[in-house]
């Protein structure tokens, strides 16, 4: 009987969380330009937090800044430039996700736990693959240019 009661409580509270007058909806703003402006502010806050608190994000940011300058200066074909820019953005995006995962895990608990280690290691592995892809594509682009 407790199972039924807890299920009915879950069923009644979940839709209430999605109502237009819920706290999340009010805090975010729910219409037009106001919502876009607030979302943009949250994104800027996210960039600032990642840059301030995560050395790995700063490293990937500055690496990609240098690579963007190189893309402008090196006479690659436009398709290669596009591919390299996309890959640079991908590495930044993956690092932001990885930073978010690490912050969420650390917020939950700073105690060592096997699942926390898996979460952090998987995020790190994703970033490793993104940077490996960036490296391989740069090698291929430079090889094509020089040969």
- Is 125 within 8 Å of 97 (Cβ atoms)? no
Selecting among 7, 54, 95, 102, the annotated active-site residue is: 95
Helix (H), strand (E) at residue 90: helix 78-108
Cα distance between residue 128 and residue 18, in whole Å? 37
* 95 is an active site residue: yes
Only one residue has tokens 């590495």, namely 91
- Is 87 within 8 Å of 67 (Cβ atoms)? no
Only one residue has tokens 């819920």, namely 22
Catalytic site residues? 95
């Amino acid at each position: 009987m407790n199972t039924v009661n807890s299920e009915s409580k879950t069923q009644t509270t979940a839709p209430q969380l999605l109502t237009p007058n819920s706290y999340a909806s009010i805090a975010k703003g729910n219409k037009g330009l106001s919502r876009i402006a607030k979302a943009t502010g949250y994104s800027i806050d996210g960039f600032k937090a990642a840059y301030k608190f995560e050395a790995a994000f700063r490293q990937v940011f500055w690496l990609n800044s240098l690579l963007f300058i190189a893309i402008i200066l090196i006479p690659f074909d436009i398709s290669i430039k596009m591919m390299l820019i996309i890959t640079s953005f991908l590495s930044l995006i993956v690092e932001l996700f990885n930073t978010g995962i690490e912050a969420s895990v650390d917020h939950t608990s700073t105690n060592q736990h096997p699942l926390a280690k898996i979460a952090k290691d998987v995020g790190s592995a994703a970033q490793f693959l993104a940077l490996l892809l960036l490296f391989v594509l740069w090698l291929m682009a430079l090889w094509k240019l020089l040969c």
